[in-house]
Amino acid sequence: MKRMKGVKVPHMKSTGDSIPARMTDLDIAVYPMVQHIGTPCKPVCRPGDPVYVGTLLGQKNGGLSSPIYSGVSGTVNKIEDILLSDGRYAPAVYVLPDGKMTPDPTIAPPTVTDLQGFIHAVEDSGIVGLGGAGFPTGVKLHVGDSSRIQEIIINGAECEPYITSDTRTMLDRGQDMQEGIRLLQKYLGAKKIIIAVEKNKPTCIRAMRSIAGGDDTVSVKVLPSVYPQGAEKVLIYHTTGKVVPEGGLPIDVGVIVLNCTTLAEIARYIRTGMPLVEKCVTVDGSAVASPMNVIVPIGATLEAVFNFCGAFKAQPGKVLYGGPMMGVSVPELSMPVLKQTNALLALDAKDAAPVDAANCIRCGRCTNVCPVGLAPVSIAAAYGSGSMETLQKIHTNLCMECGCCSYVCPAKRPLVQQNKLAKAALAAWLKSNR
Ligand code: SF4
Ligand code: SF4
C-alpha cells in the first residue's frame, strides 16, 4: 500500500511521563455555548441559579449540536457574548465556583438497552471528538443500519508535537477504553475494532495490546510516526487501505473513527452518568515554567491553568489552543478550556517570532508533502485572483489544514492560512450559488 504523504516533525513530547495532576481551585468558569462543530447551544440557566458539577448549562440546538455542562459547583454569575478564537461571538455562561466541586444530585447512569438508547446516551453525555475535532460523537454514531460498520478505528495516533493527553488516556485509562470497546461491540455490533497507535509510543502499544488481548475481534495497528497520521482520512487509509471519497464520510467505506479519549469518556458516562465536565490537557511550550498534563474542569480560564503549571518563566509571545501544527492562536488568557482542548502551548518570544515570507521559488515541496494531493500554490493563486470556479476545480475543500505545506516551505509562505481563507471564501460562494 502506498503511503499518504506528510512530514516528519520533532515530537517534543516531554510530558509523556507526566501523570495528570487534578486542578479544582478556580476563580471563575466560562462556558461558551459553542464547543463543537455545529449549532451553538441555548443557555438553560439564569444569573443567580445554583449549579453543580454536571448541571446542564446549554441544551443542544438542532441535529448537529452537543449539550454543555458545568465543570464546577457554584452560582451562575452572568450570561454574555464572548469572542471565540475563530473570530465569532457566542453567548457564554459564567459560573462563580464555590470551591466544593459538588456533583449534581440528579446525576445517574443512563438506562441503555439497545442501539438507539446508546446513541441517545452518547448525545446526552455532551461528548464530542476529544482529539481536537469537536464533532458531536452521538451524531457520528447515527449510521442508520449498523451492519454498514465493517471496522471501528480507535485513534491513538497523537501525531502533533508536544501533545500527550491521548498518550495518558492509553496509559492510565485502559479499563475505560476496554469498557468502551465492549459497549461498541454490544450496541453497534462492531465485529472488527482496530486500535491505531504510532510506533514512537511503545508503552502505549503495550498497554493497548494488553486490553486487546484474548479478543480476536480487537487488534492493534502500529503505524509509522509521520504527521498527520491521526487525521481521519489518513488514519483510515493507513489502517485499512480504504479511501474515503471526496465529500464522503468514513461510514461510506464502512468505517467509524473514534478518538481514544472519546471512547474512554463514553464508557465513563454510561457507567456513572457524569457527562463531559473535565479534560486532560497537555500544558507545554518554552514559556511555561512546569510543563505537565493537567485534568482541568472544562471552563477554567487559560490563565488559571498556566498558573497551576507554575505560571510563565518567560513572557509568552504566542499562546495556542492545540499543537504547533494545527493549533489556533488565543488572543486572551481569560478564554476557557473547551471540550475539545487537548493542549495549551505558550511559546516564548523567540519561538513565536513572526517569520518574513519571501517569494515562492517554485520548489514544489508544498505539493510533495500534501497528504491529499493538493497544490497550495495553485490555491493561493486562485484565491488571490478571486476565481472561485478554480478553487472548486482544484478541490480546495479537501484541505484538512494540517499545516504540512507551511512547515516545509523554504520561503515561509503562509500557505495554510491562505488555504483557510480560500476554503471559507469557496464555502460562502457555494452557499450563495445553491
Ligand atoms: S494543502 Fe491543506 S491538506 Fe495539503 S498540506 Fe497544506 S494544509 Fe495540509
Ligand atoms: S514550498 Fe513554498 S516556495 Fe516551494 S513551491 Fe510551495 S510555496 Fe513555493
**pLDDT 10s digits, 326-377:** 999 998 999 999 999 999 999 999 999 988 999 999 999 999 999 999 999 9
258-275 mean pLDDT? 98
Which residues have C-beta within 8 Å of that of residue 196, sequence separation ≥ 6?
Answer: 153, 154, 155, 156, 157, 220, 221, 223, 235, 238, 239
pLDDT of residue 383: 97
Same domain, yes or no: 260 and 131 = yes
Is pLDDT of 50 > 90?
yes
Percent of the chain with pLDDT over 70: 99
Which ligand is closest in space to the CA of residue 381?
2
CB 294 within 8 A of CB 20: yes
Within a domain: 10:
no
Same domain, yes or no: 393 and 255 = no
Within a domain: 163:
yes
Ligand 1 atom with the smallest distance to the CA of 376 is 1
The Cα-based distances of 319 to 239, 243, 316, 414, 418 in angstroms read 33, 35, 7, 18, 21
274 lines ligand 1 (CB under 6 A): no
139 lines ligand 1 (CB under 6 A): no
317-332 mean pLDDT? 94
pLDDT of residue 316: 96
Cα 333 to Cα 241: distance, rounded to the nearest angstrom:
42
Same domain, yes or no: 267 and 371 = no
The rounded Å distance from CA 408 to ligand 2 centre is 8
The rounded Å distance from CA 401 to ligand 2 centre is 16
Q: Select from 222, 244, 272 the last residue of a domain.
A: 272
Ligand 1 atom with the smallest distance to the CA of 366 is 5
CB 325 within 8 A of CB 227: yes
* Three-state DSSP string of the chain: CCCCCCECCCCCCCCCCCCCEECCCCCCEEEECCCCCCCCCEECCCCCCEECECCEEEECCCCCCCCEECCCCEEEEEEEEEECCCCCEEEEEEEEECCCCCECCCCCCCCCCCHHHHHHHHHHCCCECCCCCCCEHHHHHCCCCHHHCCEEEEEECCCCCCCCHHHHHHHHCHHHHHHHHHHHHHHHCCCCEEEEEECCCHHHHHHHHHHHCCCCCEEEEEECCCECCCCHHHHHHHHHCCCCCCCCCHHHHCEEEEEHHHHHHHHHHHHHCCCCCEEEEEEECCCECCCEEEEEECCEEHHHHHHHCCCECCCEEEEEECCCCCCEECCCCCCECCCCCCEEEEEEHHHHCCCCCCCCCCCCHHHHHCCCCCCHHHHHHHHHHCCHHHHHHCCHHHCCCCCHHHHHCCCCCCHHHHHHHHHHHHHHHHHHCC
Same domain, yes or no: 121 and 261 = yes
CATH number at residue 253: 3.40.50.11540
Cα 265 to Cα 271: distance, rounded to the nearest angstrom:
10
User: Going by CA atoms, what residue is nearest to atom 5 of ligand 1?
Assistant: 370
Provide the domain count of the chain: 2
User: Going by CA atoms, what residue is nearest to atom 3 of ligand 1?
Assistant: 399
Same domain, yes or no: 268 and 371 = no
The rounded Å distance from CA 169 to ligand 1 centre is 28
107-115 mean pLDDT? 97
User: Going by CA atoms, what residue is nearest to atom 7 of ligand 1?
Assistant: 401
Q: Select from 222, 256, 272 the last residue of a domain.
A: 272
Is pLDDT of 276 > 70?
yes
Q: Identify the domain containing residue 122 by its residue range.
A: 115-272
User: Going by CA atoms, what residue is nearest to atom 4 of ligand 1?
Assistant: 370
58 lines ligand 1 (CB under 6 A): no
Which ligand is closest in space to the CA of residue 362?
2
Ligand 2 atom with the smallest distance to the CA of 361 is 3
Rounded to 5 degrees, φ, ψ at 97 are -70, 150
| Distance in angstroms between the alpha carbons of the first and the last residue of the chain | 38
402 lines ligand 1 (CB under 6 A): yes
Which residues line the pocket of ligand 2, CB cutoff 6 A? 360-366, 377, 408-411, 413, 415
370 lines ligand 1 (CB under 6 A): yes
- Report residue 213's pLDDT band, with 50, 70 and 90 as the boundaries: confident
Within a domain: 219:
yes
Which residues have C-beta within 8 Å of that of residue 81, sequence separation ≥ 6?
Answer: 89, 90, 91, 92
Within a domain: 218:
yes
49 lines ligand 1 (CB under 6 A): no
Within a domain: 148:
yes
User: Going by CA atoms, what residue is nearest to atom 6 of ligand 2?
Assistant: 366
Candidates 338, 291, 281, 342; CA nearest to 314 is 291
pLDDT of residue 86: 81
- Report residue 30's pLDDT band, with 50, 70 and 90 as the boundaries: very high
Please state whether the peptide bond connecting residue 228 to the residue before it is cis, i.e. omega within 30 degrees of 0. yes
pLDDT of residue 132: 76
pLDDT of residue 1: 62
Within a domain: 73:
no
Q: Select from 216, 239, 272 the last residue of a domain.
A: 272
Within a domain: 51:
no
Same domain, yes or no: 268 and 129 = yes
Within a domain: 142:
yes
User: Going by CA atoms, what residue is nearest to atom 1 of ligand 2?
Assistant: 409
User: Going by CA atoms, what residue is nearest to atom 2 of ligand 1?
Assistant: 399
| Burial (0-12, 13-18, 19+ Cβ within 10 Å), 375 | middle
User: In b/e form, how buried is each residue of 107-117, taking b as 16+ CB within 10 angstroms?
Assistant: beebebeeeee
pTM: 0.95
